[in-house]
């Protein structure tokens, strides 16, 4: 199963908004930016909608990369 998760690219100003709006407690604030734990993110998009500098982007997550070798 694939699901959309959200990731933070460079430019996070550590305002903490994404963490406060996240219903799944998936956001951690590090020293160089917010990080979203893929296992916890439910893909609601609230963080992206509320980020003042728009550095959060949706990303399709594949749990396992299939091998192409026979
Ligand atoms: S998409 Fe929703 S669940 Fe995922 S980190 Fe953002 S606010 Fe949290
Ligand atoms: S809302 Fe945006 S700028 Fe604020 S902590 Fe989250 S990712 Fe960083």
Task: Give tens-digit pLDDT for 27-50.
Answer: 999 999 999 999 999 999 999 999
Higher pLDDT, 17 or 3: 17
- Paired strand residues for 29: 34
CB-neighbour burial class of residue 65 (10 A; exposed 0-12, middle 13-18, buried 19+): exposed
What single DSSP character describes residue 42?
Answer: -
Nearest ligand to the C-alpha atom of residue 36: 1
Domain boundaries, given as residue ranges, for the chain: 3-61
46 lines ligand 1 (CB under 6 A): yes
Nearest ligand to the C-alpha atom of residue 15: 2
CATH topology (fold) of 3-61: Alpha-Beta Plaits (3.30.70)
- Return the closest-CA partner of residue 46 out of 30, 61, 58, 31: 58
CB atoms within 10 A of CB 2: 8
């Amino acid at each position: 199963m694939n699901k959309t998760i959200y990731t933070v690219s460079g430019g996070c100003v550590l305002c903490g908004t994404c963490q406060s709006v996240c219903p799944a407690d998936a956001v951690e604030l590090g020293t160089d930016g917010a990080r979203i734990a893929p296992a916890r993110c439910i893909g609601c998009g609230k963080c992206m909608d509320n980020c003042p500098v728009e550095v959060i982007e949706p990303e399709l997550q594949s749990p396992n990369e299939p091998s192409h070798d026979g």
